Copies of this chain bind each other. A is one copy, B any other.
Amino acid sequence: MVAGGCPRRVEDGAAYESGRGSMASPHHALAPGAERMTPPPCGLLTLLTDFGLTDPFVGVMKGVVCAAEPQVRILDITHGIRPGSIVEGAFWLERSYRYFPAGTVHCAVVDPGVGSARAAVAVAAQGHYFVGPDNGLLAEVTLHAPHVEVRQLDVEALGLRQVSHTFHGRDLFCVVAGRLAASKVGFEALGPLAHLAVPSPIPGVVSEADHFVGNVLTVDHFGNLITSLRAAEVLPASGTPFRLEIGGEWLRSVRTFADAEPGELVALIGSFDAVEIAVRDGSAFSRLRPTPGASVKLFPS
């Protein structure tokens, strides 16, 4: 169904966005509505891992997909998740998937428990598909989804029993994701309906009388600290100024990096709707050296 090795344009993608505002609790499988609400796979597969690019781990995953499903297009979201950091992986997966076409299959592998009893799952939510370990990594994308369908991968039925003990990314997840992206197997045929056993590892934002408490989740390439505070949730309007407290330091908010003084430590709304801490022409991480998960307090002005 995919011509020319590139995903076709999903002309009917808008349909899946008509979420009915179901009040279903997250982390539980619903009746198979999400799958019906999800457009068919569009022939695009993304990869998000903590494998880095120093070794051929990512390369051989692509080889495996390309050998079995040559018509599937593969794009990297990132392979730079901090090794073993499910928090960071869950965060970036949730903030990134929406920039890809509806019907994309996202293969996400941050899997310190590989080879243990943790389940392997596929999730249909928000018009996208997700394949990976059930360790919290895929849970964040389901939190606000009106319809979620989870399938536990049936490795026997899929003919994938003989996988390695240490590299399910290559031997299981990307094989399944490739077949799904190529429409070789239907989502409902991946295994029985299930629920995610492990919830999102991202701590919730706490709402106090006059402020919100969140956490530093990750640091980006530029040394900006990215927090769990989502502008849409903590500010009445996107341009509202605020003050941010971290480790006893008080920061003013600016609109963009160029509005800060050179070397000034500031807070701003980053491009993924997250409250971030930055130093103009410098690294907030080097300046503050926060511990992972360090708490921050936001006071709207």
Task: Give residues in A with beta carbon < 8 Å to B.
Answer: 3-9, 44, 46, 48, 51-60, 62-64, 66-67, 70-71, 73, 75-80, 83-84, 92, 95-96, 99-101, 104, 112-116, 164-167, 170-171, 218, 220-222, 255-259, 268-271, 281
What is the bound-complex CA distance between A59 and B45, given in angstroms? 12
Q: In the complex this chain forms, how many copies of it are found? A: 3
Bound complex: CA of A224 vs CA of B115, how far in Å? 16
Whether the pair B56, A75 counts as a contact (CB closer than 8 A) is: no
| Partner pick for A77 among B7, B59, B271, CB 8 A cutoff | B59
Q: Which residues of B contact A44 (CB under 8 A)?
A: 66
Q: Chain B contacts of A270 at CB under 8 A?
A: 166-167
Contact (Cβ within 8 A) B80 A53? yes
Can you list 17 pairs linking A and B with CB atoms under 8 Å apart? A8-B70, A53-B79, A54-B80, A55-B78, A56-B77, A56-B95, A59-B75, A59-B96, A60-B99, A62-B75, A63-B77, A63-B99, A67-B99, A113-B257, A113-B258, A115-B257, A166-B271
Q: A52, A55, A67, A270: which has the most chain B beta carbons within 10 Å?
A: A55
